[in-house]
A = this chain, B = another copy of it.
Amino acid sequence: MQNVPSNWFMEFVTPDTIQQFAVKDILYYGKSQYQKVEMIETVAFGKCLILDGKIQSCEGDEFIYHEALVQPAMTLHPNPETVFIAGGGEGATLREVLSHNTVKKVVMVDIDSEVIDLCKKYLPNHHQGSFDDPRVELLHMDAKKYLEETDLKFDVVIIDLPEPIEGGPCYLLYTQKFYEMLKTKMADTSVFALQSGATIIGITEVYLAINNTLKTAFPVSIPYEATVPAFGGPWGFTLNSTKLDPRELSQEEIDRRIAARVTNTLRFYDGHTHQGLFYIPKYLRDMLAKETTIITEDNPVFVPGI
């Protein structure tokens, strides 16, 4: 057994499921004002940000998560100039947004400035200098509060937050009321994308409730999936708008827009990927069709803890 790695990151994906990744190095551990923060380097996925014991993203497969979260929304918009990001401390969501040369202004609100400072230091492959881009306004405050108070409207909104956890602050950003308010910060052609929870069979409760709630607020609300290996299973996303539907764009039009606008090399997303993205398996469609939960402040949903 001397070939078995000595050090392992251990995460309870659910109360009944553990994933472990061999760890080469622990780059940082500490507590910010809001959460336990760790930076580790895994053998399988490179450097990873861990918040409160949960993997947020890893160098090795973060491109799947971040391109899946950002690129469909950005590409769907005919000319995204103003973008709002909630969360996304690693700077990779920002990187994907800034890769569109149409963008003139990004407001990114992440409550935890310590996490961002640590990501700046330890995860250069994530942010790739995005925080220094002059188009970026970075604020450390509650994202909900910012939106309530701003007069701005945004072409694209990306919500890149942890799943709702009992006792955590994020859950208020998953309610019907929040989505209704958010709509007032968007134009008719605006697009809003978010990660909407694990679609791992057996623990889809949060995913289903979020998507059912989004449907009540947005005329177009299209769930899609991507599998991010470090998350331990398939992951859900949702693209929302008043009238733009991602399924109406052809493969050629997507590739044309990418060629015209995107200054990065994309690894996950292109016109071909886009075509397949919005076909989700029958069992998820069936579960979504049956879902009745609408998330409100009085009726929140939380991921299972122990």
Contact = CB atoms under 8 A, between A and B. Distances in A.
Interface of A: 1-12, 14-26, 29, 36, 38, 40, 42-45, 50, 52-54, 60-61, 63-64, 165, 200-202, 225-227, 229, 232-234, 266-270, 272-273, 275-283, 285-286, 305-306
- Closest 9 pairs between A and B when the two form their complex, measured CB to CB: A276-B279, A18-B20, A16-B22, A16-B43, A1-B12, A227-B234, A2-B52, A276-B276, A227-B227
A44 B266 contact: no
15 contacts: A4-B4, A4-B15, A5-B16, A7-B8, A7-B9, A14-B44, A16-B42, A200-B229, A226-B281, A233-B233, A273-B279, A273-B280, A273-B282, A275-B279, A277-B279
Nearest to A274: B279
Contacts of A275: 276, 279
Contact of A7 (B7, B43, B273): B7
Given A23-B7, A38-B7, A282 B266 contact: yes
- The oligomer's copy count stands at 4
A1 B276 contact: no
Contacts of A3: 15, 53, 306
A14 B11 CA distance: 17
A234 B42 CA distance: 19
Contacts of A54: 2
A1 B15 contact: yes
Contact of A283 (B24, B52, B268): B268
A36 B22 CA distance: 15
Contacts of A165: 2
A277 B64 CA distance: 17
Nearest to A12: B1
Contacts of A21: 16-18
Nearest to A272: B279
Contacts of A233: 227, 229, 233
Nearest to A55: B6
A282 B270 contact: yes
A38 B305 contact: no
Nearest to A10: B8
A12 B4 contact: yes
